[in-house]
Amino acid sequence: MKTSQIATCAANQFAQVLYFRHYILVREFHVNFTFCCTSDVTEPLLVEVDQIYHLACPASPIFYKHNPVKTIKTNVIGTLNMLGLAKRVGARILLTSTSEVYGDPLEHPQTEAYWGNVNPIGVRSCYDEGKRVAETLMFDYHRQHGIEIRIARIFNTYGPRMNIDDGRVVSNFIAQAIRGEALTVQKPGTQTRSFCYVADMVNGLMKLMNGDNTGPINIGNPGEFTMLELAENVKELINPEVTVTMTENTPDDPRQRKPDITKAKEVLDWEPKVVLRDGLVLMEDDFRERLAVPKKTKA
Ligand SMILES: O=C(O)[C@H]1O[C@H](OP(=O)(O)OP(=O)(O)OC[C@H]2O[C@@H](n3ccc(=O)[nH]c3=O)[C@H](O)[C@@H]2O)[C@H](O)[C@@H](O)[C@@H]1O
């Protein structure tokens, strides 16, 4: 029996990420996937589906901080609408939550049992607290109405087809290196992130959707890098001639982030396969093509 699925997307900037996720789903995993990107999930959606990938929300801090009211509406009203849809048609719904629910974590690495350290009134709160409310709504609908839910906590995803001007660190550094511009490391540069290649991420999401566990489950790559280390890797792999410049950071930037993926391994039999240096090269190829800057051939 064919399963009909939709994926939601609320903002143009996230559509790029969603697009390549969808592209990989269809081309690499050969699933039956009806892509239904509404212009705005804060409006009700009337479709008949079996599975809902609720991905909607701008994910780049620059974009979500640009319109915080719209961001939190997407997380709260958008999630309510998608849960309403799931209830009406009896669909299973997967929410892409985020490592941001752990805030600036005091536990390291982060397990799903950690409740987080989040500023409720800061400039990132529209996203962090928005996703926390979205998780709450998912579990309330599950307990009260018996909706089948799945929650993934995504840790920094990167890969080909990402918006070149997305503003997040991997796309920034790769575009800067290709253009021969200085890599902008935000201070202090010792803050860490764990970067997961998009194909690994999509594989994890699909296993979660089609498995038996509600989650929340961390989906991420435990390889942890400081932003200075990331810059050095990009420089070495893409353009050894570029410099690294230190720039001002933004409020509430988490100082460390690394997923404990024990649960994903046990429950989903999933772990990431692509190491950062391989993923960066795959992303470089795609960015070079779109920026029309071919790789220099050695003389
Ligand atoms: O994937 C996640 O877990 C979450 O992380 C992101 O937030 P963040 O990790 O802060 O994403 P970036 O903007 O890529 O920043 C990562 C680090 O790089 C630094 N950075 C960013 C941009 C830049 O040009 N240079 C630079 O050093 C930032 O200060 C930060 O410490 C977003 O909030 C969400 O997309 C997502 O849910």
Distance CA 12, CA 39 (A): 9
Within the chain, how many helices (H) and strands (E) appear? 10, 11
11, 282, 254, 123: CA torsion to nearest 10 = -20
Structural domains in the chain, sorted by start: 5-159+197-221+259-272 (3.40.50.720)
pLDDT class for 78, splitting at 50, 70, 90? very high
CA gyration radius, the chain: 19
Distance 53 CA to ligand 1 centre (A): 23
Distance 45 CA to ligand 1 centre (A): 31
b or e along 102-139 (b: 16 or more beta carbons within 10 Å of the residue's beta carbon)?
bbbbeeebbebebebebeeebebbbbbbbbbebbebbe
pLDDT class for 273, splitting at 50, 70, 90? very high
Structure tokens at 151: 């929650």
Q: Is 184 in the pocket of ligand 1 (CB under 6 A)?
A: yes
pLDDT digits (tens, 9 = 90+) for 164-215: 999 999 999 999 999 999 999 999 999 999 999 999 998 999 899 999 999 9
169, 54, 204, 291: CA torsion to nearest 10 = -40
Coil/strand/helix, residue 234 = helix
pLDDT digits (tens, 9 = 90+) for 209-220: 999 999 999 999
pLDDT class for 10, splitting at 50, 70, 90? very low
Q: What residues contact residue 291 under an 8 Å CB cut-off, 6+ apart? A: 164, 175, 178, 179
Instruction: Note if 23 is an active site residue.
Output: no
Active-site residue identified among 53, 64, 102, 127: 127
ipTM, 2 decimals? 0.97
| pTM score | 0.92
Q: Is 218 in the pocket of ligand 1 (CB under 6 A)?
A: no
b or e along 31-48 (b: 16 or more beta carbons within 10 Å of the residue's beta carbon)?
eebebebbebbbeebeee
Distance 159 CA to ligand 1 centre (A): 14
According to DSSP, the residues that pair with 157 across neighbouring strands are 196
Distance CA 14, CA 16 (A): 5
